[in-house]
Amino acid sequence: MKKVVRGFYSVAYAVKLCRPNVVCAYPITPQTEIVENLAEMYANGELENCRYITAESEFAAASILVGASAAGARTFTATCSQGLILMSEVLFNAAGMRLPIVVANPNRALSAPLSIWNDLQDSMVLRDAGIIQVYVESNQEAHDMIPQAYKIAEDKRVMLPFMVCLDGFKLTHAHEPVDLLEQSLVDEFLPPYRPEVYLTTKKPVAFGCYAPPNIYMEFRVAMQRAMERAQGVIEKVFREWAEFSRRDWGGHLEIVYPESRNFVIAMGSLVGLLRKVVGELRKEGLSIGLVKLRTFRPFPFEDLRRVLGNAEKIIVIDRSVSLGYEGNLSIELKSALYGLSPEIISMILCLGGRDISKENLEKILRNAVLGKEGSGFKGYIEFEEVVP
Amino acid sequence: MEIKINIGAISEPLQSEKLKTGDWGTEWAVVDKEKCTACRVCEQFCPDGCIEVKKFGDEEYAVVDYNYCKGCGVCASVCRFEAIKMELKELFKIEVC
Amino acid sequence: MRFFGRGHGACPGCGLTIAVRNVLEALEGKCFVANPTGCLEIISSQYGKNAWGVPYIHSLFDNVAAVASGISEALKAMGREDEGKVVVFAGDGATADIGLTLHGMFDRNHDVIYICLDNEAYQNTGHQQSALTPLGEATTTTPVGKIMLGKMGRKKDMIAIALAHGSPYVATSSAVLPADIRRKVKKAAGIVGAKYIQIHCPCVTGWGIDGKEVVKVGNLAIETALYPIVEFENGKLLTVRKLKDRKPVEEYLKLQRRFRHLFTNPEGKKIIAEIQRIADANALKYNIDLKK
Ligand SMILES: Cc1ncc(C[n+]2csc(CCOP(=O)(O)OP(=O)(O)O)c2C)c(N)n1
Ligand code: SF4
Ligand code: SF4
Ligand SMILES: [Mg+2]
């Protein structure tokens, strides 16, 4: 059923279709309406076998889900920015306990200065947590990703939390036509969550045991292996989804104009604009293709080596930065392509909701391909820092 | 050597029982079954759950499991019938000359 | 049936394990335990050496109330409430200091029996002060020095906080009162909502006492009215453990290394007098003294 809805609703409605048992969150712009929508559904009795809990903080919300998930419940939360990093102690913990909690993260910048606007800095903080991270380009993709997220996270070979990252404001607040899924289709695609081990008095076990030095490391290795297996599971579930829904979003990567000599790579909604920009530049005769990175964790380094290994130049558009080094995606890509010869140009753009026009993006990419512009984190305006 | 580790460090129940803490203390509790009235007060107090009133025919008295007794003396201190004494383990009975 | 296995790593004579065993037995093992980081967790939940015979979860130091809320709500959502009660065992630090999520649990009144095992400091990390450390106690972060004689603040009134949240059942008890613990836990189990029981738990290592003195010291805390044993239902005071001959606080303090400086330092007398005033105020507040 195609409907024009806002990004919030496309996520919230998909969550409902996945039949969660416990939904718990704390409001933060631009996530708020996701949980408001879910609260409304709950208030109207539309969420069956489900408890919706108004937590007193993101930290508590994530903690409530740890208890719920360990007890065998399917769980959902949404948060971003300050809320996400307030959750971070709990989310690292949830990953270690192998709890398949699904988190929607409408990406937002981090304070200070305070900014409610979009960039990808928040989810980068959770990069090392053992949480799967997928970035979506549109509200339809966000909608479709939720059932896939549960299926992947709850797969016995995986059992890790899953973050669906969608750009705050750019997607959450956008009205877009979304083909809303049917309950029957989701039910057929996503089986109920039946963990093999959970908290029950019928067969008592202990969760969250501590590991002394003689065994701690092996549990971390086990998480790494789960991430490695997740690569395959994600691909399989993505393919399955394409058949099920007749919407094919690609694998870990989507490659546009694969035969190009140069590529631009980016994540999230910016890809939409880049599709147009790359099209224009190709009309000018530039050999430039586009790589949309969907899975950020586990990082699909083999796919990237295969697709980008022979490129001349790769322009990485980052919307987050590891201060003291460079753009996060650029760092990751360099390590993935280690030993191969493409030149990597790192561009950090659009922090804190700063827009970039199509013309400017075209100019930057054109200059980069033509060798007139190198890596940079410059801001858009010349400035000098002073003490008032 | 290959070992199995449980996902998420989840543990099976009551595995601590493999660990014998009976060698921790210098003393352990000794029950005088004549004085013991099987009132079970010591049972409720033992922090290690290792003193239990058991039936032996028509006799009933507290028995200490020396695999686990840490010799803390809590049971002796709560016995109203003075049926429990803390005794130095043989090992520590060194003659000083 | 054992609900808490032998072979755990607590110090000989530890009050925590006395309390825990009695709570679990009172519930006949029909419970889910959530436990934050702290002594109890460390002595009972090493991977492969788990002491628990009931379903158990340790998450973090600061979030146990929320984790327990999550279990309780999940059981409801899945129609599994009958499986057992959700019980928290949390240290005083986890409860009164860093346990940010406790007020949320109280507010939403989740069906949880929250038990604070009050050994009056962060014992797991080597005896640092907490909000439940009493006045005058020497800890490693409130040490005795030239200008400071141990903790110079009061013990936080968690009972008042629990009551202010409208908790349907609030009580104190002590590890040296197993029968009292059992009665109160059974009572709490029959009440729906977020219950709070604070159990005084002597810590041999932190307090500097011998195992043989645990029960005596625990009892003296009660007999001096420094640890009133009370019980509230729906905000109304239900029972108070009364005293015939209330003892002077010195009798309690002098047995413990953590208060030893109060007897050797010339300024100690003043603090002892202040501690006596606290005991007197407790006695007055709860009408503890039986008239002769
Ligand atoms: C966020 C965080 N801060 C600090 C610690 C270190 N820590 C672990 S347990 C503990 C003290 C526990 O004290 P309490 O809750 O009173 O329990 P006890 O060990 O005394 O029974 C501390 C400070 C931690 N694990 N996590
Ligand atoms: S001495 Fe302590 S550990 Fe041993 S039986 Fe008595 S109470 Fe239990
Ligand atoms: S340090 Fe204290 S609380 Fe911790 S195990 Fe030892 S006696 Fe128990
Ligand atoms: Mg403590």
- pLDDT tens figures, C234-265: 999 999 999 999 999 999 999 999 999 999 99
- Any CB–CB contact under 8 A between A202 and chain C? yes
Pick the CATH number of C15-286 from 3.40.50.740, 3.40.50.11270, 3.40.50.970, 3.40.50.300: 3.40.50.970
CATH of the domain at A370: 3.40.50.920
A156 lies in some domain? yes
Residues A129, A262: one domain?
no
What is the CB neighbour count within 10 angstroms for residue B34?
Answer: 9
pLDDT in tens, A60-95: 999 999 999 999 999 999 999 999 999 999 999 999
CB contact under 8 A, A90 and C59: yes
Q: Give the pLDDT of residue B97.
A: 66
* Residue A275: closest CA among A287, A293, A292: A292
A9 lies in some domain? yes
- Cβ–Cβ under 8 Å, residues C69 and A218: no
Nearest ligand atom owner, CA of C21: 2
A51 lies in some domain? yes
Residues A77, A157: one domain?
yes
A388 lies in some domain? no
Residue ranges of C 101-140 with Cβ closer than 8 A to chain A: 101, 103-104, 107-108
According to DSSP, residue A374 is labeled -
Residues 6 or more apart in contact with residue A7 via CB below 8 angstroms: A106, A139, A142, A166, A171, A172, A173, A174, A176
pLDDT at C139 over 80: yes
pLDDT at B76 over 90: yes
pLDDT at C1 over 80: no
Of A206, A228, A245, the position where a domain reaches its end is A245
Looking only at the bridges linking them, the beta strands covering A262-266 and A175-179 are unpaired
Residues 6 or more apart in contact with residue C213 via CB below 8 angstroms: B77, C255
What CA–CA distance (Å, rounded) separates C138 from C135?
9
pLDDT at A132 over 90: yes
Residue ranges of A 179-208 with Cβ closer than 8 A to chain B: 197, 204-208
Q: Mean pLDDT across the stretch C143-170?
A: 96
- Cβ–Cβ under 8 Å, residues A193 and A74: yes
> pLDDT band for position A183 (50/70/90)?
very high
Q: Contact partners of C by the rule of 3+ C-beta pairs under 8 A?
A: A, B
Q: Give the pLDDT of residue A63.
A: 98
What CA–CA distance (Å, rounded) separates C116 from C90?
5
Would you say the CB of residue C11 lies under 6 angstroms from ligand 3?
yes
- Report CA(A123)–ligand 2 centroid distance (Å): 52
The beta-carbon contacts of A375-378 under 8 Å, at least 24 apart in sequence, are: A375/A326, A375/A330, A375/A344, A375/A345, A375/A346, A375/A347, A376/A346, A376/A347, A376/A348, A377/A321, A377/A326, A377/A327, A377/A346, A377/A348
- Find the DSSP H helices in chain A: 7-17, 32-43, 58-70, 81-96, 121-125, 139-153, 183-189, 216-245, 270-283, 301-308, 328-336, 358-369
Only one residue has tokens 């002098």, namely C254
Residues A348, A202: one domain?
no
Q: Mean pLDDT across the stretch C49-56?
A: 98
- Any CB–CB contact under 8 A between C34 and chain A? yes
Report ipTM (2 d.p.).
0.96
What CA–CA distance (Å, rounded) separates A194 from A217?
28
A229 lies in some domain? yes
Percentage above 70 pLDDT, chain C: 100
Residues 6 or more apart in contact with residue C233 via CB below 8 angstroms: C168, C169, C191
Residues 6 or more apart in contact with residue C232 via CB below 8 angstroms: C159, C163, C169, C170, C171, C238
Q: Tell me chain C's radius of gyration from C-alpha atoms.
A: 18
User: Directed axis angle between helix A270-283 and helix A358-369, to 10°?
Assistant: 60
- Cβ–Cβ under 8 Å, residues B73 and B86: yes
A387 lies in some domain? no
Q: What is the largest CA-CA distance in chain B?
A: 57
Residues A318, A224: one domain?
no
- Cβ–Cβ under 8 Å, residues A260 and A268: no
pLDDT in tens, A265-314: 999 999 999 999 999 999 999 999 999 999 999 999 999 999 999 999 99
Q: Which two tokens stand for residue A38?
A: 């879910």
According to DSSP, residue A129 is labeled S
- Report CA(A210)–ligand 4 centroid distance (Å): 19
Average model confidence (pLDDT) across chain C: 97
Residues A198, A321: one domain?
no
**Domain ranges, residue A367:** 254-377
Nearest ligand atom owner, CA of C119: 4
Residues A80, A225: one domain?
yes
Q: Mean pLDDT across the stretch A365-379?
A: 93
Q: Could you tell me the pTM of the whole model? A: 0.97
Residues 6 or more apart in contact with residue B94 via CB below 8 angstroms: none
User: B11 to chain A: nearest residue by CA?
Assistant: A206
Residues A239, A259: one domain?
no
pLDDT at A342 over 70: yes
CB contact under 8 A, A206 and B5: no
Residues A295, A192: one domain?
no
On the question of a cis peptide bond just before residue A27, with omega within 30 degrees of 0, the verdict is no
What CA–CA distance (Å, rounded) separates C104 from C66?
7
Residues A294, A183: one domain?
no
Nearest ligand atom owner, CA of B83: 2
Q: Give the pLDDT of residue C4.
A: 98
What CA–CA distance (Å, rounded) separates C27 from C112?
13
Q: Which two tokens stand for residue B72?
A: 């803390």
Cα of first residue to Cα of last residue in chain A, in angstroms, is: 57
What CA–CA distance (Å, rounded) separates A61 from A328?
28
Q: Give the pLDDT of residue B95.
A: 73
How many structural domains is chain A composed of? Answer: 2
* Residue A143: closest CA among A178, A177, A95: A178
Residues A178, A299: one domain?
no
> pLDDT band for position A1 (50/70/90)?
confident
Angstrom CA distances, A150 to A72, A79, A296, stand at 14, 17, 17
Q: E strands along chain C, which residues?
A: 31-35, 56-58, 85-91, 112-118, 169-174, 194-200, 230-233, 236-240
Q: Give the pLDDT of residue B1.
A: 75
pLDDT in tens, C82-100: 999 999 999 999 999 999 8
- Any CB–CB contact under 8 A between C265 and chain A? no
Residues of chain C positioned with their CB less than 8 A from the CB of B49: 2, 4-6, 21
What CA–CA distance (Å, rounded) separates A316 from C267?
68
Q: Give the pLDDT of residue C226.
A: 98
Residues A137, A43: one domain?
yes
* Residue C236: closest CA among C172, C157, C170, C189: C170
Q: Mean pLDDT across the stretch A378-385?
A: 93
Residues A215, A261: one domain?
no
Domains located in chain B, CATH noted:
33-87 (3.30.70.20)
pLDDT in tens, B7-24: 999 999 999 999 999 999
What CA–CA distance (Å, rounded) separates B63 from B33?
9
pLDDT at B96 over 80: no
- Any CB–CB contact under 8 A between A49 and chain C? yes
pLDDT at C292 over 80: no
Q: Helix, strand or coil for residue B85?
A: strand
A70 lies in some domain? yes
Residues of chain B positioned with their CB less than 8 A from the CB of A207: 8, 10
